[in-house]
């Protein structure tokens, strides 16, 4: 992949970073949980976490998409065979907190779509303004509810990650 950006050092750095990210992601996609034997821990010492973004955690080149039930089950098995049962509760608490954020975000999105449809079908400008005002008020309520949920989910993810990274494999 070649990207041509004229000019600066920053452009070159950006392209190099993008190429590195693409390469790293491609390497991680080569190994999936099904590709490794989880009857014993596949690594020794502290967990070699290559990346942890959203619900995707890459450990020693194996990418687990924790939103997928099969990957989550394999990851939980990894926790157990790698002497890290202590991370199971923080993992579960993080997944529950993340689910609350996803559900509330979906609710907000559905409300927004519904309001947009109502506004598109409104017959008068007065109706449209009323719908827009109600939607703005609802958006503020959703934001007020989502903010603490998001903060809680991030804190629980950090706790889980710290607990997991402190578990030396057998």
Q: What is the DSSP string of 92-151?
A: HHHHHHHHHHHHHHHHHHHHHHHHHHHHHH-SSHHHHHHHHHHHHHHHHHHHHHHHHHHH
Contacts of 57 (CB under 8 A, 6+ apart): 49, 51, 63, 64, 66, 75
pLDDT value for 9 = 38
**Sheet with 62-65, side-by-side order of all strands:** 49-53, 56-59, 62-65
pLDDT value for 97 = 97
CB 95 within 8 A of CB 66: yes
Whether pTM > 0.85 for this model: the answer is: no
Residue-level pLDDT, tens digit, the chain, 170 residues: 444 444 443 333 333 444 444 445 554 456 788 888 888 998 999 999 999 999 999 998 899 999 999 999 999 999 999 999 999 999 999 999 999 999 999 999 999 999 999 999 999 999 999 999 999 999 999 999 999 999 999 999 999 999 999 999 88
pLDDT value for 21 = 46
């Amino acid at each position: 992949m070649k990207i041509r950006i004229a000019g600066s050092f920053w452009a070159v750095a950006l392209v190099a970073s993008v190429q590195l990210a693409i390469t790293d992601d491609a390497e991680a996609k080569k190994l999936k949980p099904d590709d490794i034997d989880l009857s014993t821990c596949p690594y020794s010492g502290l967990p070699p976490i290559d990346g942890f973004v959203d619900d995707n955690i890459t450990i020693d080149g194996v990418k687990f998409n924790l939103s997928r039930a099969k990957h989550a089950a394999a990851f939980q098995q990894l926790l157990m065979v790698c002497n890290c049962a202590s991370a199971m509760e923080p993992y579960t608490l993080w997944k529950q907190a993340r689910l609350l954020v996803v559900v509330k975000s979906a609710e907000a999105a559905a409300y927004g779509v519904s309001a947009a449809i109502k506004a598109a079908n409104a017959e008068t400008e007065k109706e449209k303004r009323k719908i827009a005002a109600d939607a703005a008020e609802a958006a503020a309520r959703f934001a007020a509810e989502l903010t603490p949920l998001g903060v809680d989910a991030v804190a629980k993810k950090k706790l889980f990650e710290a607990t997991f990274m402190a578990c030396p494999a057998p």
